[in-house]
Chain A
Amino acid sequence: MTAKRSVTVTVNGETRTGEAEPRMLLSDFLRDTLGLTGTHVGCEHGICGACTVHVDGEAARSCLMLAVQADGAEIETVEGLADGETLHRLQQLFSKHRALQCGFCTPGMLMTALDLVRHRPNLTEAEIRSGMAAVLCRCTGYEGIVHAVAEYASGGER
């Protein structure tokens, strides 16, 4: 154990400060220190993508970053997507296309899909499948996820 440091991040538009050992993962900092448990941890070794958040506008696996590395960063998590009581359009489409069952992969899927659509205009289904391959889902077989992302991408909302 080493001395804790103070880490300040802007999460979903709000400035938050917490203490973290230098070895603390960003995923643990978000979940345990800041109480934002919407971001899930499925492997802690960078494969499953469940922990995906946006750091300074780019998708990142929060289990592969240390909290201290995120000091000063702007972070978006699943908790920031809805507008009050109104679900984000992608969230609505996930429900419509039955893109979730247990919901454990869902936060990572949503954050990954938003990043994918923002960076790649006119996505084909093959591109969606390879882009969404960044996150594992054990429940759905991916069909609903691919359809939800396709409809979202075609809706012009970028």
Chain B
Amino acid sequence: MTAASPAGYIGRSVPRREDRRLLLGQGSYVADLVLPGMVHAAFARSQLAHARIVSVDFARALAEPGAVFALGGAELAREMPPIGGMQVTAPKGWAERVDHRITLPPQNLMASDRVRYVGEAFAVVCADSRYAAEDAVEAIDAGFEPLPAVVDPEAASAPDAAVIHPDLGTNAVAELHVEKGDVAAAMASAPHRIRRRIRHHRYAAMPLECRGVAAEYDRRTDSLTVWSSTQVVHWVRKELAFALGMAEEKIRVLAPDVGGGFGGKGHVYPEDLIIPWLARRIGRPVRWVEDRHEHILNAAHSRDNIHDAEIGFDDTGRILAFRDDFIVDSGAYSPVGAGVAYNTTAHLLGPYHIENFAGGTVVAITNKTPNAPYRGAGRPEAVQVTERLMDIVADTLGMEPADVRLRNMIGPERMPYDVGLPYRDGVPMTYDSGDYPASLRRAIDEIGGIEAFRERQEKARAEGRWLGLGLGCYTEGTGVGPFEGATVKVDASGKIVVSTGACPIGQGHETVFAQVTADAWNVPIEDVVVLLADTSTLTMGYGSIASRSTVTSSMAIGDASDKVKAKVLAVAAHLLEASEADLELRDGRVAVKGVPDMAVSLREIAAAAAPGWLSRRPEGSEAGLEATSYYEPPTVTWAYASNAAIVEIEPDTGRVRIERYVEVHDAGRLVNPGLADGQVKGGLVQGLGGALYESIEYDEAGQLLTGSFADYLLPTAAETPPIEVVHMETPTPLNPLGVKGLGEGGAIAPPVVIANAVTDALKPFGVEFNTLPIRWQDVRAAFDS
């Protein structure tokens, strides 16, 4: 028979299920939801970085036409506790191995006695329209007594600094230290040592859709339905149940279409709890949609580290010791704890074998918007440090940067490789698979080779043109736990219905999980229904953060499918009066091998397995074709990449023009290569934005200077160069599909790749670009130095 087998969807660029509705303008985002009787919420947000709240008076606000309800932070604090926080508790293996002191500040849902950053909400108003709600916010009479703003993270950690959370007694709310080998001795005896200060600036996820939450309370059943533009519906539900004292099953949280997230929607925000509380309190549906200014003020920022790094090496470029102490500017709160800070430490060693290492971290509270994970989540900062140092080592020794990297790289023969540090899940870090040197060589080949470039570079310099080559390599722990869930069932129609805790933000999850499921069941992909981002379809889920969904949801779907398939075969064997060993699942039917006519369809099997008088299941077996699995990954699987870029600098303007940009990326087996490619490229362009354009800036009073898209510059199609991505596919041995995570990878390397390329281009001027972003002013200034 030549009939195409439906299997084999994995590995094909299957077109997206999501596209049609989105292209037609029929996507449904939170701002598109209209609920009968709905009111609109707007928040009053602090215009001061640090101040005591003296008074909040709603008399004029409530007199505004259309105003329905108003509430201050102090009253809300009496009704609802602060958010619990998810990543605050450290896994055991981590806590034993990493010296740590963590005392994170609680975050009230709205400021009650003090505001701690510009943009922090201190009151909320509901009104008949968004316009009326904003009018009412303007009419709130609030009095503040300004306090000194703590803006600089180093000054914040000094013993004499004003303390932003007085109960904690310090702004240095977390300190971490981890070490392997003997760094002090190895550093002291190293033939060469260099020290550098390296800064990674503050920028943010900046999804094109701002955040939004809508909620409806049903008095009859005492239940809540909440729509949030979030990556973590189950986490939102958990916090809501706790805050409102309700059973989880009385709360349904859904993420409708979400217009990007990139980690910026990856934790529970105060508004996720406040809007549902308001809906229950007022007895009318409530919708809140953030505007862009509010988003830049209030949605989490990210990165923002200062590193003091030292590296010891010999004449051949072998790294003997590496030490990095850094400070993270956490902003006024720390919504996900010290996880991102430690993630930076865990990624400092990258693809290199370095025996002696120490990493120390201080997380400092300042009067700025809270810092939380954004695509890369601590890794771009680490990779900037290590990859700048690799270039500086090369420069010190007069070597090619590529040679220093290859000299220290872990070869494929050493896999699996024990790094000697714990990962943030508490498990010892073990690079599971891959060929790091091959990826670097490939990136260099793709860009035309080092020698050819150096010749061009030299000729160009003679003509007064400035070309530079930048490299950047990294490893990336992906598919982190603790778990993900999936429920798989064969419903009465014979379709395979899958639900999982993944919350799509544009990646194409509906398509990818349909591929995974269709292959698991050997059915046409049209027979798979995928339900996502809805707590009513799955009891426990985790969400889409940290490059984890393809790994963790796929495994949970596979496990649950195995359980249901075992039942399907048992029922089919009973119906066909055959032995299970003689049966095969194909095209939505179970047939006797070699006798395709002896078959029953999944629909018939579902009917036979159903409870009731007509049931025809084997004696003693349970009714129904449904199973739930919770996949708990043993640890992360390690993706990696090598990048190479060629830039040309315009001396007159300081503009950095990117001539070529190549990333050789390995995320194991790719479920949908086209979508994987899109993820990596989209991430790379975000990284280029971080390298050259995007920056969140504050003045010394803690006022945000970049509160609009006219100030916070996202890359457009015009600045974005064509990007080349080569996919290596080394399957991981850690899961049966061989897949690794890839959502974040692209965003990790470009900042340092461009910094290296610009430094290389301007080598004759002796300027190092160790601070991001790379501004045209600084580039221009190099020519005058």
Number of A residues, CB within 8 Å of B: 55
Given A1-B131, A129-B717, A141-B723, are A43 and B708 neighbors across the interface (CB < 8 Å)?
yes
Given A78-B24, A141-B681, are A102 and B209 neighbors across the interface (CB < 8 Å)?
yes
Interface size bucket, B side? Answer: 35 or more
Contact, CB under 8 Å: B20 / A87: yes
B714 contacts chain A at the CB level, 8 A cutoff: yes
Contact, CB under 8 Å: B708 / A45: yes
Contact, CB under 8 Å: B259 / A110: no
**A155 and B156 alpha carbons, distance in the complex (Å):** 60
Contact, CB under 8 Å: B506 / A139: yes
CB-CB < 8 A to A139: which residues of B? 208, 260, 506, 678, 682
Q: How far is the CB of A101 from chain B (nearest CB, A)?
A: 4
B398 contacts chain A at the CB level, 8 A cutoff: no
The residue in chain B whose Cβ has the minimal distance to the Cβ of A98 is B678
Contact, CB under 8 Å: A79 / B24: yes
Given A39-B25, A41-B31, A129-B720, are A102 and B259 neighbors across the interface (CB < 8 Å)?
yes
Q: Which segment, of B11-19, B114-122, B535-543, faces chain A?
A: B11-19
Contact, CB under 8 Å: A103 / B18: yes
**A113 and B131 alpha carbons, distance in the complex (Å):** 31
CB-CB < 8 A to A21: which residues of B? 131
**A48 and B31 alpha carbons, distance in the complex (Å):** 17
CB-CB < 8 A to A144: which residues of B? 678
CB-CB < 8 A to B733: which residues of A? none
Interface centre among A41, A91, A129, A143 (most CB of B within 10 A): A143
CB-CB < 8 A to A31: which residues of B? 31-32
Which single member of A82, A132, A145 contacts B24 (CB below 8 Å)? A82
The residue in chain A whose Cβ has the minimal distance to the Cβ of B22 is A103
**A101 and B714 alpha carbons, distance in the complex (Å):** 17
**A36 and B506 alpha carbons, distance in the complex (Å):** 22
Contact, CB under 8 Å: B708 / A142: no
CB-CB < 8 A to B206: which residues of A? 138
B462 contacts chain A at the CB level, 8 A cutoff: no
**A56 and B708 alpha carbons, distance in the complex (Å):** 29
Contact, CB under 8 Å: A47 / B709: yes
**A141 and B682 alpha carbons, distance in the complex (Å):** 4
**A153 and B259 alpha carbons, distance in the complex (Å):** 27
A55 contacts chain B at the CB level, 8 A cutoff: no
A18 contacts chain B at the CB level, 8 A cutoff: no
Q: How far is the CB of A113 from chain B (nearest CB, A)?
A: 11
A100 contacts chain B at the CB level, 8 A cutoff: yes
Contact, CB under 8 Å: B208 / A42: yes
Contact, CB under 8 Å: A104 / B685: no
Contact, CB under 8 Å: B717 / A106: no
The residue in chain A whose Cβ has the minimal distance to the Cβ of B708 is A45
Interface centre among B22, B507, B675 (most CB of A within 10 A): B22
Contact, CB under 8 Å: A143 / B723: yes
Contact, CB under 8 Å: B681 / A140: yes
**A83 and B34 alpha carbons, distance in the complex (Å):** 26
CB-CB < 8 A to A94: which residues of B? 19, 23
**A113 and B47 alpha carbons, distance in the complex (Å):** 39
Q: How far is the CB of A63 from chain B (nearest CB, A)?
A: 10
CB-CB < 8 A to B556: which residues of A? none
CB-CB < 8 A to B18: which residues of A? 103
A122 contacts chain B at the CB level, 8 A cutoff: no
CB-CB < 8 A to A145: which residues of B? 717
Contact, CB under 8 Å: B208 / A105: yes
Contact, CB under 8 Å: A133 / B24: no
**A102 and B29 alpha carbons, distance in the complex (Å):** 10
**A132 and B714 alpha carbons, distance in the complex (Å):** 14
A6 contacts chain B at the CB level, 8 A cutoff: no
Q: How far is the CB of A150 from chain B (nearest CB, A)?
A: 12
Contact, CB under 8 Å: B718 / A104: no
B207 contacts chain A at the CB level, 8 A cutoff: yes
Given A98-B674, A142-B720, A146-B717, are A103 and B27 neighbors across the interface (CB < 8 Å)?
yes
Given A1-B131, A141-B681, are A91 and B23 neighbors across the interface (CB < 8 Å)?
yes
B391 contacts chain A at the CB level, 8 A cutoff: no
Contact, CB under 8 Å: A1 / B22: no
**A49 and B293 alpha carbons, distance in the complex (Å):** 16
Q: Interface residues, chain A, CB within 8 Å of chain B?
A: 1, 21, 23-24, 28, 31, 35-45, 47-48, 50, 77-79, 81-82, 87, 91, 94-95, 98, 100-107, 110, 128-130, 132-133, 136-146
30 inter-chain pairs at a CB distance below 8 angstroms, sorted by A residue, are: A1-B131, A1-B132, A31-B32, A35-B34, A41-B31, A43-B292, A43-B708, A45-B708, A45-B709, A45-B710, A47-B709, A78-B25, A81-B25, A95-B19, A95-B20, A98-B16, A101-B260, A103-B506, A110-B23, A128-B717, A132-B716, A136-B716, A138-B714, A139-B678, A141-B678, A141-B682, A142-B685, A142-B717, A143-B681, A143-B722
The 9 closest A-B pairs by CB, nearest first: A38-B25, A103-B22, A102-B506, A104-B259, A101-B506, A47-B709, A141-B685, A78-B25, A133-B716
7 extra interface residue pairs, beta carbon distance < 8 Å, beyond A35-B34, A138-B206? A31-B32, A38-B27, A40-B209, A101-B508, A105-B208, A133-B718, A136-B208
